[in-house]
Structure 1
């Protein structure tokens, strides 16, 4: 049995024409330190709760943001990491932008059974409708993004 979920209301300035209306959008940036991962999770949780996003989706979004922030902190020389949350149509889009070097392809690693790390992007692949990587602003760094469904499957 499918559960019905109330729609996330459009703010007054977003109502009206256009093929896709942005219902909600929020940006934040944090220093690229290990402590930023937990802070990013908390900011995402607080923002999504204030928008009325269901708890399960909020927890999934925290997992995605945690993975993306961790990779940016560990694998780039970034000073700042930026995050954008956007609710459009039936999707929550999460974008995390680092200041790293080139926009090399990001591929989930095949972790061995006894590896402690290396499963994060596999988890993202499992929970996201789709995800990917694109060059950052002025081709600097990269933006790793994921889209999560707002509808119950």
Structure 2
């Protein structure tokens, strides 16, 4: 049985002030496989409101799908926090879990016969940068990726 953590543990930041040109949206989801599709839909909806290019939106959906899937399948988290930040030059996607494993996800080399194991390699190929921030508290990590936009959105 997975440990129960209070929902406030994820502590998503409040929306950024519009004065600096950064737009952000955060949301939490339960750590269930159905949350992968919900995260994609929430991301797509927010990007549509911001006028984000559709083609880049597909890449962003792939990234959030990979991160949420990994949190659901490979951690003992109960809640998953998602944060998307958009400024004129980049889109940053963060997924935070509250799992007890202290190490972050690692890309691996899947064999040709394996169905899984290529997601983080895809993220690495599509993102300008990506990484993992392990929290200083007793558990959890944030996996993040930054997608370049090329021009101001």
Whether these two folds match at TM > 0.5 is: yes
CA distance in 1, matches of 2:70, 2:40: 14
Structure 1 residue 136: Cα displacement: 3.2
Aligned length: 135
> Any residues of structure 2 matched to 1:38-57 within 5 Å, and which?
38-57=37-56
Question: Please, which runs of 5 or more residues in structure 2 have no aligned partner?
Answer: 1-16
Structure 1 stretch 84-93 or stretch 58-67: which is displaced more? 84-93
Question: Please, which runs of 5 or more residues in structure 1 have no aligned partner?
Answer: 1-12, 16-20
CA distance in 1, matches of 2:87, 2:137: 25
TM-score normalised by the chain length of structure 1: 0.83
Q: In terms of Rg, which structure is larger?
A: 1
Hey, what does 2:71 align to over in structure 1? 72
CA distance in 1, matches of 2:138, 2:53: 35
Structure 1 residue 135: Cα displacement: 1.6
Hey, what does 1:34 align to over in structure 2? 33
Counterpart among 18, 21, 25 of residue 14 in structure 1: 18
TM-score normalised by the chain length of structure 2: 0.83
Structure 1 residue 103: Cα displacement: 3.1
